Amino acid sequence: MLLDMEADVNAQGGKHGNALRAALLCGHLEIVHLLLDKGADVNEDGGGSGNALQAASGGGHQEIVSLLLDKGADVNSQSGGSARASGGRSFCSNALHAASSGGHQKIVTLLLERGANINAKGGKYGNALQAASFESRRETVNLLLDRGAV
């Protein structure tokens, strides 16, 4: 109803930053579809969860990650990401780091197939391999090494 009354789908505020990130963090695929169809910015950054692709990747929402990529999400976008108790410094700076940290191998594979830079640097972890290693994601570490991570 709010969208029919021309509510701003990209309005910022609240815990999750905007409606798109709130929907995808909870894995609500239908709502994500609706918001994207109504003009939600697939590459908008902000909020504690980083950009939409990063948040969906870290949350393990493979269908949403695929949808965001199909709608033009930048697979290599660097973002603030989910800062933890580290003086506000972000642990993950992109979608591949977030998926690797969470041990979401299918998403890691999808992101790599769609052009993610396996050795991109950023955030407190440094890169995807370090993120997977820090979080003890052995299978993800092996996957990244098999794909050429250094």
C-alpha 67/C-alpha 53 separation (Å) is 10
> Which residue range forms the structural domain that includes residue 35?
19-146
User: Which of these ranges, 51-60, 68-77, 80-89, has the smallest mean pLDDT?
Assistant: 80-89
Pick 132 or 19 by higher pLDDT. Answer: 132
Q: pLDDT of 40-69, one tens digit each? A: 999 987 656 678 999 999 999 999 999 999
138-146 and 105-113 helices cross at what angle (nearest 10)?
A: 20
Burial 95-104 (b: 16+ CB within 10 A, else e): bbbbbbbbbb
Q: pLDDT of 25-44, one tens digit each? A: 889 999 999 999 999 999 98
Q: Model pTM?
A: 0.86
Residue 117 lies in a domain: yes
Residue 36 lies in a domain: yes
End-to-end CA distance of the chain, in Å? 49
Pick 67 or 15 by higher pLDDT. Answer: 67
Q: What is the pLDDT of residue 87?
A: 33
With beta carbons less than 8 A apart as the criterion, state whether 108 and 95 touch. no
Taking residue 64's Cβ as centre, other Cβ atoms within 10 Å add up to 25
Residue 31 lies in a domain: yes
Residue 48 lies in a domain: yes
Q: Which whole number is the average pLDDT over 91-119?
A: 94
Residue 133 lies in a domain: yes
Residue 64 lies in a domain: yes
Residue 124 lies in a domain: yes
Domain tally, the chain: 1
Residue reference for tokens 């949350």: 59
Q: What is the CATH number of the domain that holds 117?
A: 1.25.40.20
Q: Which whole number is the average pLDDT over 108-130?
A: 94
Pick 89 or 108 by higher pLDDT. Answer: 108
Residue 2 lies in a domain: no
